[in-house]
Each structure stands twice: as C-alpha cells, then as structure tokens.
Amino acid sequence: MSRVPHGPGDESDRIFALQEEVDQLKEAVASHAVVDQAIGMVVALGRVAPDQGWEVLKDVSQHTNIKLRDVAELILLWGRAGEMPPEIRAELEDALDRYGPTQIPGAPPHE
C-alpha cells in the first residue's frame, strides 16, 4: 500500500478546517446555553413547563421573524435590565397566553 505524500499546504488546510469546526461548535454551545437560560426565565416567570417554554420561544421567534437565539438574548437582557422591545413583549405575552400558565402543584385552582 503506497502513501500519498502530504505537503505543508494539505496540513495547513486540515488545521484551518478543524479550527473552523471548533469555532462552530463553540458558537453552538454558547447559543444553546443562551436559549436554555431564556427557557428557564420563561418557565419561572410565565409558570409554564420547560417544553412549553421552548414552544413560547419558538412562537415569539416565528411571529417576529427574529432568530430564536436573538429572542433568547432579548429575554435575558429583559431579565437583567427590565427592558424589552414592545413587539417582543407583546408576542411573548401572547405566546404565554397560548401555552400557560400551568397549575403549580398544591396551589389553588387558577380562575
């Protein structure tokens, strides 16, 4: 079995490709963390289940035509600063009306 010689260019291309892949994976992990944190806020503040929190984020993203990660970042910013663009707030309220609130165990029935 003969080996095809690898030149310095081939190795550089491979390193570059691997670095790009690592960068993409880092971005995916960071994005996932932002979305998970926003779901946590929606769950806590909107009193919905985690799967409903995910649906709320998706709905807001789809109805505002804003990327889901960007919606998540806006929700986190709202949690820190108390401000949210009016169109996002309105859509978030509508989505929460559609999905929640869920009944908290041991709480009196919601009227």
64-72 average pLDDT score: 94
Look at residues 27, 100, 47, 67 and name the one whose alpha carbon lies nearest to residue 57: 67
Amino acid found at 89: R
Give the pLDDT of residue 65.
95
More confident residue, 75 or 9: 75
88-98 average pLDDT score: 90
Distance between CA atoms of residues 104 and 79, nearest Å: 22
Give the pLDDT of residue 72.
94
Please tell me the pTM assigned to this model. 0.69
Count CB-CB contacts under 10 A for residue 1: 2
What are the domain boundaries of the chain?
Answer: 21-99
Q: For residue range 10-47, what is the model confidence (pLDDT) as tens digits?
A: 888 999 888 898 888 888 777 788 999 999 999 998 88
Q: For residue range 38-54, what is the model confidence (pLDDT) as tens digits?
A: 999 999 988 899 999 99
Is 50 in contact with 39 (CB distance < 8 Å)?
yes
